Structure 1
Amino acid sequence: MEPQYVSPRRSVAFIGSECHPFVKTGGLGDVMYALPRELVAQNCDVRVILPRYACIPQKYQDKMVYRGEFYMDLGKTGRNYYVGIMEYVCDGVVYDFIDNQEFFSAGNPYIGLVDDIPKYCYFSKAALAALNYLNWIPDIIHCHDWQAALVPVYLRTMFQDSPIGRAKTVLTIHNLRFQGIYNIPTLQYWTGLPDEVFNMGAMKQGYEDANMLKAGLAYADRITTVSNTYAQEIQTAEYGEKLEDHLRYHSYKLRGIVNGIDYGMWNPATDPALAVNYDITNVLDHKWENKLALQQELDLVQDQGKFVIGLISRLTNQKGLDLVNAIIPQVMDGNTQVVVLGTGDKEYEDTFRYYENAYKGMFSACIQYDESRAHRIYAGADALLVPSRFEPCGLTQLNAMHYGTLPIVRETGGLKDTVQPYNIFNGDGNGFTFDRYDAGLLLDAINRAKTEYFINRYHWDEVVQRDMAKDVSWENSARQYKDLYLELTPW
């Protein structure tokens, strides 16, 4: 048995706008699901507070238990709004859903800023009021992205003298691109926050705009984002989405902690989607069987000697697909197969379909979102391409390593933090990398990978096993969050 990580108990309230399996549009939903579960295992008491959207599947709605209701004033509306609390407990995590038909009855969680600004002004205030109502006062309130960014602001103003006022706050940035920006009068109307909140150091942006995320960053006790390198990058103009000066000013409280992957969902030894299961002890015997099965499934030439490159991605500019497009003709050398899975911009969808036609049996374009096929690509490919323009954390490269598939990545954000470049002189490293955003450098990295695969297979196989041994689990990441909580509450 490995030694248990024992540390003092802390109570944490997670507040955010989405969480798998109830509602999920992206990586935030995965974190809100996996991190609380892992923190429970590490001696934390965790509640997750979410909106009760109408789009949450009925099977979960049916299991929610009514915990109470109250009315709450909101901003300068002159009205009292209903706040209902519905509770669902699963795997030691308590989920409290804030119920209000007026705000959460649409089919999708996000509609557009006109509807979303009032909705998340209400949600952030109602979440704090609900904790007071339930008389469950956490040590730490951990908020996520712009939708919950007003929580630290409300806490340090309107709720400062209430029981919840003693909690410390952590705000995590998952996607800096979305900030909750609207004109100042609208945010004054919906929040009723005091005037000092609307100055340049906090909510104000430009001449007449208010920025919810900016205010949260100013009022939170700690700011985290999803990798160390990204925490540095967002303090520069290239990545800062106009908040770089503000982030530099608050950099003393900014940390990077890489996301993990859920070993329950991503485990080649037990994964039901795979043709043949394998682990680190027999990966060299069984991985090629998954390759042949993948080739058969996708109508590719069946040959375990081919070098198979996977690309699993949203097909957008952020993901570096313009670089990929530029070099496909040089990559297709007769010994290489490429498998693309994803949907997105029409220009990329069409280009990849064109390549599938031009290189029949060697190039496959799966323009779809198919979770189980993604698992089979991780298992059947030799390498995975992640040439992103920017990538706060990135999970595909972690999945790939865990499945013994070597990542070929650009050195940015979480990719730089999780993939160390292979060194031909001493054999160190766990993938292939390139730095500047340039098609020639991407091609060069792919060719370096091919050289090792075809000429030094012994070295390649060593890296495969090293990657499968690497700890990319949530346990590792949750430990760093727990240490941050303890640092904020040193009693």
Structure 2
Amino acid sequence: MKKVLFVASECSPFVKTGGLADVVGALPREFNKEYWDVRVVLPNYSCIPWEYREKFEYITHFYMSVGPYIQNKYVGVLQYEHNGVTYYFIDNQDYFTGFYPYDSNIRFDLEKFIFFDKAVLSMLPLIQFQPDIIHCHDWQTGMIPVLMKNEFMGDMFFWGMKSIMTIHNLKFQGKWDIKTFQGFTGLGDEFFTSDRLEFEKGANMLKGGIVYADYITTVSNSYAHEIQSDYYGEGLGGLLYARRMDMQGIVNGIDYSEFDPNTDSTLVRNYNSENFRKYKIKNKEALQEELGLNVDKKAFVIGLISRLTDQKGLDLIDYAFHSIMDEFTQFVVIGVGEQRYEDMFRYYESVYQGRVSANIYYSDELSHRVYAGCDAFLMPSRFEPCGLSQMISMRYGTVPIVRETGGLKDTVQPYNEYIQQGNGFSFTNYNGDEMLHIINYAKSIYFNKKAKWNKIIERAMKTDFSWNVSQNKYENLYNYLIGEFR
């Protein structure tokens, strides 16, 4: 039996702020339990719903010091089995209370996740779980490979254990000044050099994970190549280029049980790739009515479900919006984020009454109805490590219009009208006019060549975005690490 431990700061269904939680929640379930024992550990946040927390079982506790600033802290270990996967929760009331998993005080987040990382390694001998591989996710777990290769190598229990560092979004790295880092970690000056944790005269938690991990993955193949450059590398491009032989991109999957238009209870009419021509329109009309849009089954309805930030290409949308919004087009937005973008969409809703719906909040149920009820789904991202929305939209037969970057480039095959291939539309350069051109091209196919548009939908709905493909690649990687080094 091969053993793997996933370590992350969030995991669906317990706590979720983004795609990281979807990955950590779905991927461990995909492994064949006859050969793989894949478990997950995360903080015991008080914001985890009580319906789960009341079932957590106490396993053990101990007291632990990390650095001079973190002394004699309580560490509780709780356990819960869900959908055939064992989950552990690290408990400490000083760090994991609150209504949100992350704090607005970055310094406090650094302290609590450094504490969490050492607690994870410290608990393993006590619970008698000795993983072959510890799979770390994002900067919050960056100290685990550092500690494994140094402080914990004095214990035979950890000999031969390997670590993988998965980068979900390189923009977030866990950076602070060196003195504070030393206070939290207890690491000596030799660790804060340019070839280790030092970064721009400070310290960088994710960099530590990248330097010390046995292998690095990102959440799409294109993103793995992009982040080796200065433009996308967020200051770590050179390091990632140096480690390119120990790095690959593996595109995320989506949960087919959660995102299935044929069984989705939030829809007014279920449908599949065989009967969408007849029934998808029912969801479009219901969505228009629900959101106060003009009920017009012939309108071209564009959807956008996103964090409202610069990363998502919203400045391009602002630049081209009046040109996008002809009398035959409607636009639906769900999301929260930067105030200027929230206000932008509210303004456009007031200008285009009956044609624009700005939903400045997040609703899981409404998002399902938007995926099902729109004709096209817009993602003009500046960068996109993987992206799940384009895959979900295709699952629901809503044609994606994306910029060719990261996971968007890897998952959306641009439509070619001459050979009749493609499951969406894409543009190359980060340019508002180029985006507008491809939106207009998509409209021309929708309005003038409906049979070909429906073929695009059919190909999109039949594209395999299940976790099976990704799981096989992770399994091969795990076997490589275990076989290569044991």
Provide the TM-score with structure 1 as the length reference. 0.95
Instruction: Name the counterpart of 2:12.
Output: 20
Residue from 166, 182, 196 that aligns with 1:188: 182
Letter of the 1:109 partner, please give it.
Answer: P
Change beyond 3 A, Cα 1:351–1:106: closer
Q: Does the 8 Å contact 1:397/1:407 carry over to 2?
A: yes
Residue from 353, 357, 372 that aligns with 1:364: 357
Residue from 240, 243, 260 that aligns with 2:236: 243
Change beyond 3 A, Cα 1:70–1:353: closer
Matched, 1:283 2:276: yes
Change beyond 3 A, Cα 1:101–1:366: closer
Matched, 1:99 2:80: no
Change beyond 3 A, Cα 1:140–1:11: same
Moved more, 300-309 or 74-83: 74-83
Instruction: Name the counterpart of 1:458.
Output: 451
- The 5-angstrom pairing of residues 143-158 of structure 1 reads 143-158=136-151
Change beyond 3 A, Cα 1:61–1:385: same
Change beyond 3 A, Cα 1:347–1:73: closer
Distance 2:466 2:38 in 1: 19
1:105, distance to aligned residue in structure 2 (A): 2.9
1:357, distance to aligned residue in structure 2 (A): 2.4
Change beyond 3 A, Cα 1:323–1:462: same
Q: Does the 8 Å contact 1:15/1:143 carry over to 2?
A: yes
Distance 1:426 1:471 in 2: 21
Distance 1:81 1:303 in 2: 61
Residue from 252, 260, 275 that aligns with 1:259: 252
CA offsets 1:68-89 (integer angstroms, 9 cap, x no match) = 1222232235833222111011
Q: Does the 8 Å contact 2:385/2:407 carry over to 1?
A: yes
Instruction: Name the counterpart of 1:432.
Output: 425
* Structure 2 runs not aligned, ≥5 long: none
Instruction: Name the counterpart of 2:64.
Output: 72
Letter of the 1:134 partner, please give it.
Answer: I
Change beyond 3 A, Cα 1:339–1:108: closer
CA offsets 1:138-158 (integer angstroms, 9 cap, x no match) = 111000111111101100111
Instruction: Name the counterpart of 1:4.
Output: none
Letter of the 1:415 partner, please give it.
Answer: L
1:53, distance to aligned residue in structure 2 (A): 1.7
SS in 1 for 2:31: helix
SS in 2 for 1:124: helix
Distance 2:77 2:245 in 1: 36
Instruction: Name the counterpart of 2:167.
Output: 173
Matched, 1:311 2:308: no
1:351, distance to aligned residue in structure 2 (A): 2.4
Q: Does the 8 Å contact 2:226/2:232 carry over to 1?
A: yes
Q: Does the 8 Å contact 1:131/1:164 carry over to 2?
A: no
Matched, 1:375 2:375: no
- The 5-angstrom pairing of residues 441-456 of structure 1 reads 441-456=434-449
- The 5-angstrom pairing of residues 104-183 of structure 1 reads 104-111=96-103, 112-162=105-155, 163-183=157-177
1:42, distance to aligned residue in structure 2 (A): 8.0
Instruction: Name the counterpart of 2:288.
Output: 295
Distance 2:96 2:471 in 1: 30
Distance 1:185 1:348 in 2: 37
Moved more, 422-431 or 22-31: 22-31
Distance 1:141 1:57 in 2: 26
Letter of the 1:27 partner, please give it.
Answer: G
Letter of the 1:344 partner, please give it.
Answer: G
Instruction: Name the counterpart of 1:11.
Output: 3
CA offsets 1:98-122 (integer angstroms, 9 cap, x no match) = 1122222344322222212221111
Q: Does the 8 Å contact 1:40/1:46 carry over to 2?
A: no
Distance 1:354 1:99 in 2: 45
Q: Does the 8 Å contact 2:316/2:431 carry over to 1?
A: yes
Change beyond 3 A, Cα 1:138–1:359: same
Distance 2:363 2:114 in 1: 35
Q: Does the 8 Å contact 2:70/2:184 carry over to 1?
A: no
- The 5-angstrom pairing of residues 204-243 of structure 1 reads 204-207=198-201, 209-243=202-236
Distance 2:118 2:21 in 1: 21
Instruction: Name the counterpart of 1:35.
Output: 27
Distance 2:335 2:409 in 1: 23
Change beyond 3 A, Cα 1:245–1:279: same
Moved more, 264-273 or 67-76: 67-76
Distance 1:313 1:74 in 2: 38
SS in 2 for 1:400: helix
Q: Does the 8 Å contact 1:280/1:469 carry over to 2?
A: yes
Change beyond 3 A, Cα 1:85–1:441: same
Find runs of 4+ consecutive structure 1 residues off by over 3 angstroms: 40-43, 76-79
Distance 2:33 2:88 in 1: 20
Letter of the 2:464 partner, please give it.
Answer: D
Q: Does the 8 Å contact 1:397/1:415 carry over to 2?
A: yes
Distance 1:127 1:304 in 2: 54
Moved more, 346-355 or 227-236: 346-355
Moved more, 76-85 or 320-329: 76-85
Moved more, 41-50 or 92-101: 41-50
Letter of the 1:472 partner, please give it.
Answer: F
1:189, distance to aligned residue in structure 2 (A): 2.2
Distance 1:152 1:123 in 2: 13
Q: Does the 8 Å contact 2:304/2:378 carry over to 1?
A: yes
Distance 2:411 2:4 in 1: 27
When the two structures are aligned, how many residues end up with a matched partner? 482
SS in 2 for 1:101: coil
Residue from 321, 336, 340 that aligns with 1:343: 336
Letter of the 2:172 partner, please give it.
Answer: F
Instruction: Name the counterpart of 1:396.
Output: 389
Distance 1:192 1:348 in 2: 42
